[in-house]
Structure formats: C-alpha cells, structure tokens
Amino acid sequence: MDQWLLKKRCPLCGECHLSLRENEEFLRFFPGPELNLERLEEDEKAAAVPPCGWLVVRAKTASGGGEP
C-alpha cells in the first residue's frame, strides 16, 4: 500500500489537497484546466487536481531524489 509523504492545500483555492507518494518528488503545479502533456519530460507524470490545475511529479531516483 502506498504511503503519502506530502499532503497540502492547493495554492489557488486552498480547498483541494495535493498529495505525493513517498517515491515521488514535487516538480511544479500548473493552474488551469488544460496541460499540454507533450511538454512533459519522459520521466514526469501529471495528476489532475480538479478544478484548479495539475500536479506534476517525477519518481525519485535510487539516490533519494529531491533538490540539491
């Protein structure tokens, strides 16, 4: 079963919850209903946060991921 590492409120509405699994790192939040999936990098994935936007994440690497 997945463990949720991060759970915080949406930066736009303050109502929706943004959640990450422990094996994911947060990259960015795109506001709005549309996201051009072709612009994502190969190792990125997006999840809808209706009605506010999209959460873009990437799987952490074996070294732990995250920003330096």
Summarised one tens digit per residue, pLDDT across range 55-68 is 999 988 765 555 54
- Identify whether 64 is part of a domain: no
- Identify whether 19 is part of a domain: yes
In which domain, by residue range, is 26 found? 4-59
* Per-residue pLDDT at 43 exceeds 60: yes
What was the pLDDT predicted at 44? 94
What was the pLDDT predicted at 41? 94
Provide the domain count of the chain.
1
- Identify whether 37 is part of a domain: yes
What was the pLDDT predicted at 68? 46
51 DSSP assignment: T
- Give 1-41 pLDDT, tens digit per residue: 455 566 778 888 988 888 888 888 888 989 998 999 999 99
- Identify whether 65 is part of a domain: no
- Identify whether 68 is part of a domain: no
Q: Where are the beta strands (DSSP E) in the chain?
A: 4-9, 17-21, 24-31, 44-49, 53-59
